[in-house]
Amino acid sequence: MSHKSKILVTGGCGYIGAHTIVDLIENGYDVISVDNLSRATTQLLAGIADITSVQVKNYAIDLCIAKDIATLFAQHPDISGIIHFAAYKSVPESVAQPLSYYHNNLASLINLLQMVQQYEVPYFVFSSSCSVYGNTQQLPVTEDTPLPRAESPYGNTKQIGEEIIRDFSHTHSGSRHALLRYFNPVGAHPTALIGEIQPIPQNLVPYITQTAIGKRPQLTVFGNDYDTRDGICLRDYIHVCDIAHAHTLALRYLAQSTADNRCEVFNLGSGTGNTVLEAIAAFERVAQMPLPYVIGARREGDAAAVYADNQKARALLGWQPRYDLDDMMRTAWIWEQRNTQ
């Protein structure tokens, strides 16, 4: 894949999408974005421009509308890679609204793959999730860990999405696919010009920073009777910039690969797990302030513990996480302070 290859990033105005666009631009790629802005704004595009001095074009279309995607590809028939982030991603919301999740997350994927087939787009990177592992008893999870029944409709859309891509790869020889299962992306770009925007937090770290800055009275830790070292849910936190760079590396890997297998799966995690209380302690350490929190009931759909074996990504992609838990909390806190002012 030559530099200045054109990469389509779906969900490019979102948290991981924006950080990945920065990484792609810094590695010489030409990027266009699709984001219907139903769950994002153009704020991060402005941050991308400030960091890279590149104005990325966003097409505010709905990927579930096939004719709109067809129009986009007619305008950009030279797209050489797709990184597909665009999806609904709240576990509790998916439990409450399963049909919305199945429609949005799967119809958009199918429509995109039809364009991959029609336009012979050679490289496709799919944003999957550690949620595919459900409440697995095997830790750390490897890419070969058997997938149990998903714990939520959201997790199930990622399992089904992977199956769709795998089946497609068996019949379509013109493209290669990477399925990236990320664990818990946190933190913000070191410049604090882009980060995670969640007016109503769906994830732990925005809840921590919004509580610390006074937007929320306290943090609720969901459940303290799990089979973990302190009874609290254990997760594998990974800095968003490390996640972003893995997408650039995945494109390079697909371009260089000569393997018969046209669909590869990679775990993107730190390789270790931290409980929510350990994450809170890291925040208190870097922010030098106490965080008010209470223990609440378990939350439906939450697995007790999931963390990654990341050796495959290290070996095949040459991926090396650069940021530790304190870095994650520090950059998230600087972003929160900058974004609140």
CA dist 115 and 77 (Å) reads 10
CA dist 45 and 57 (Å) reads 9
User: What is the residue-level pLDDT of the chain in tens, covering all 341 positions?
Assistant: 555 799 999 999 999 999 999 999 999 999 999 999 999 999 999 999 999 999 999 999 999 999 999 999 999 999 999 999 999 998 889 999 999 999 999 999 999 999 999 999 999 999 999 989 987 888 899 999 999 999 899 999 999 999 999 999 999 999 999 999 999 999 999 999 999 998 888 789 999 999 999 999 999 999 999 999 999 999 999 999 999 999 999 999 999 998 889 999 999 999 988 999 999 999 999 999 999 999 999 987 677 888 999 999 999 999 999 999 999 999 999 999 998 86
DSSP 245-270: HHHHHHHHHHHH---S--EEEEEES-
Beta bridge mates, 7: 31, 81
Q: Is 154 a catalytic residue?
A: yes
User: If you search the block for the tokens 């793959």, which residue do you land on?
Assistant: 113
Looking at domain 6-189+239-269+309-322, its CATH superfamily turns out to be NAD(P)-binding Rossmann-like Domain (3.40.50.720)
CA dist 97 and 101 (Å) reads 7
Catalytic residue selected from 15, 29, 123, 154: 154
Residue 35 has phi, psi (to 5 degrees) of -155, 120
